[in-house]
Amino acid sequence: MDYELYSKTIATISSVKNTYQYSKKSPDDNYSEKYYKQDIRAVIKNGKFKGKEIELKNQYASSEVYDIKYKSRDDIFVDNLREKDGILTGVPSGIKRDYIIIISLTLLFSIFLLIGKRDGFLTFISLAINIGAFYGIIILYFKGFNILYLSIPMIVFFTFVLLIFLNGNGKITWTCFLSSITAIAITGLITYLTMSFSSEPDYDFMDFILQPYSPIDARRIFFSETLIACMGGVMDVSIAIIITLKEILDKNSNISNKDIFFSSRNVGDDIIGTMIPVMFFTNIATEIPFFILSLRNSMTLHSIIKHHSFFILARFLTGSIAIVLAVPISVFFTIILLKKGKDIC
């Protein structure tokens, strides 16, 4: 019901008539694509024509890869709004989906409160703060600021806010914070050296790259996204390792550093065994539709991986390296800050 918040015209579809037009075979004759036209009637929900009926036309293919099949009661955006002889016409340009986000956030917040109670509420607040900070950084980037110089303090801020909201201001928080930042920094150094001594990838295939772009800016964006991508996994591993070792230290403060290391390795094996597949599937999930469409249109797997999936695989490998590094780094800071009783708070 937030139509008035949009400057772009929004209309709710009241009726749709679908008409078959023609079929077109693929170059290898493996399948046939059917094309349809739509005669749409809708009611405008905002602007000076609010409440008036508008006539729209749309064309879509049966696969709906490059276009959309609109249905009755869809809220859609309208471009090229015109009035001639009292009849409004326009071009549909997409479905209004913000209500899906609102419903999802509401469910997420409700589950946070139901299961996590106070901690869940604080987690949601930290998430809202981080989203706001991220939005601010994107605004600064479009104003000409260096995206890499923005991303580095953003990672530090994200990590600090999340940990301070979850664990408060204490030894465990600072130990997790230092181990997470150190693991990300070392991973960033490895990534930088790799990029420095290897040939440049084709940034034309990087997701959401603005055209035209400069290779330097594209490199900074790629470097920034690899660092941000590994942040969540690193924090998860660091928190699990440090809290586990803290429990062990509470029960046996005289445990040797060697025993601490072996204990952390056992815990780390279990965590890494699940976190790396999570990292893989999180990154690859967005590519599944593209993989299917590319293979169906006779693209080779080598071409897909080399050009389109290179950046996703790079993020996955970088994140995996960071997760593995997080284990010994967490052990190191646990021994220095918790076992030896040095408080930096």
- Structure confidence at residue 339 (pLDDT): 66
- The closest of 96, 18, 10, 17 to 52, measured between CA atoms, is 10
Of 64-68, 115-119, 153-157, which one has max mean pLDDT? Answer: 153-157
Mean pLDDT of 15-35: 82
Q: Is the pLDDT of residue 104 over 60?
A: yes
Percent share of the chain, pLDDT over 70: 95
Check residues 300 and 237 and name the one with the higher pLDDT.
Answer: 237
- Structure confidence at residue 342 (pLDDT): 43
Check residues 313 and 211 and name the one with the higher pLDDT.
Answer: 313
Residues 6+ positions from 306 with CB-CB distance below 8 Å:
none
- Structure confidence at residue 182 (pLDDT): 93
Q: Is the pLDDT of residue 240 over 70?
A: yes
- Structure confidence at residue 302 (pLDDT): 77
Alpha-carbon span 312 to 21, nearest angstrom: 38
Given a contact cutoff of 8 angstroms between Cβ atoms, the answer to whether 284 and 312 are in contact is yes
Give the predicted TM-score (pTM) of the model: 0.74
Given a contact cutoff of 8 angstroms between Cβ atoms, the answer to whether 90 and 81 are in contact is yes
Q: Is the pLDDT of residue 343 over 60?
A: no
Alpha-carbon span 319 to 197, nearest angstrom: 20
**CA-to-CA separations, 321 to 114, 176, 194, 230, 268, in angstroms, rounded:** 35, 18, 13, 9, 13
| pLDDT mean across residues, the chain | 83
Task: Give residue-wise pLDDT tens across range 245-269.
Answer: 888 887 777 777 777 777 777 777 7
Q: Is the pLDDT of residue 153 over 60?
A: yes
- Structure confidence at residue 41 (pLDDT): 92
Given a contact cutoff of 8 angstroms between Cβ atoms, the answer to whether 80 and 91 are in contact is yes
- The closest of 92, 110, 28, 26 to 54, measured between CA atoms, is 92
Pick from 14-23, 138-147, 299-308, 326-335: least confident: 299-308
Mean pLDDT of 290-303: 75
Mean pLDDT of 142-165: 88
Mean pLDDT of 109-135: 85
- Structure confidence at residue 6 (pLDDT): 86
Percent share of the chain, pLDDT over 90: 12
Confidence of residue 46 (pLDDT cuts 50, 70, 90): confident
- Structure confidence at residue 345 (pLDDT): 37
